[in-house]
Amino acid sequence: MDLVLFDLDNTLLNGDSDFAWAQFLIGKGVLDREVQEAKNLAFYEQYKAGTLDIFEFLDFQLAPLARHSRTQLDAWHEEYLATMVRPMITDKARHLVDEQLARGALVAVVTATNAFVTGPIAREFGIPHLVATIPAQEGGAFTGKPRGMPAFKAGKIERTEAWLESLGLHFGGFARSWFYSDSHNDLPLMTRVTNPVAVDPDETLRAHAEGAHWPVISLR
């Protein structure tokens, strides 16, 4: 059995689910447009530049989850999935995922975006496993804080290894492993697998991939 890991934002999706979720809440009037939109844009630029403080960002991104009931959040997420996420899913992305699932690989989404936002998106693709930043809960309500290590940069390796261990598996048990990503932030995990693939990569990742002779593909 092979291991196949997919980044989500700007890889399987032609867009960023984290950024889009905040913009969705701004559009609903849940977040103040004047203040929150500027912050959302600033964090997104920091992410692309590789300078993002993940804990500062999570304070911003997870706070709305703590202010609303799970029933309300789930209802908003259904609308968000239909109006903002599904238009980001290309036929090429669906075909690649379906192809990997059909050949019997162990397939997971590995994303820094929190599991509340990304769980339904992974299910939309039919991907059975999700490795993501975990928003902490108490009594079924979100606290506004992450639980454990965020799945960001080297944290993706830590969380992926913990997930594999929970299945009684480990990286070394796979003769072949893949990780598909668009971002230089994912270089730690990309260098951990046997077959890294750059997908519509940013400039830094493209240069690294070309220098290392990694495949570069487009799902757009």
Catalytic residues: 7, 9
Q: What is the DSSP letter of 152?
A: S
Tell me the residue type at 9.
D
Tokens matching residue 110: 């590995």
Q: Can you tell me the distance from the alpha carbon of 189 to that of 28, in angstroms, rounded to the nearest whole number?
A: 36
Q: Which residues pair with 114 in a beta bridge?
A: 133
Closest CA to 52 of 5, 116, 113: 113
End-to-end CA distance of the chain: 28
- Could you write out the DSSP letters of every residue in 24-58? HHHHTTSS-IIIIIHHHHHHHHHHHHT---HHHHH
Given a contact cutoff of 8 angstroms between Cβ atoms, the answer to whether 49 and 203 are in contact is no
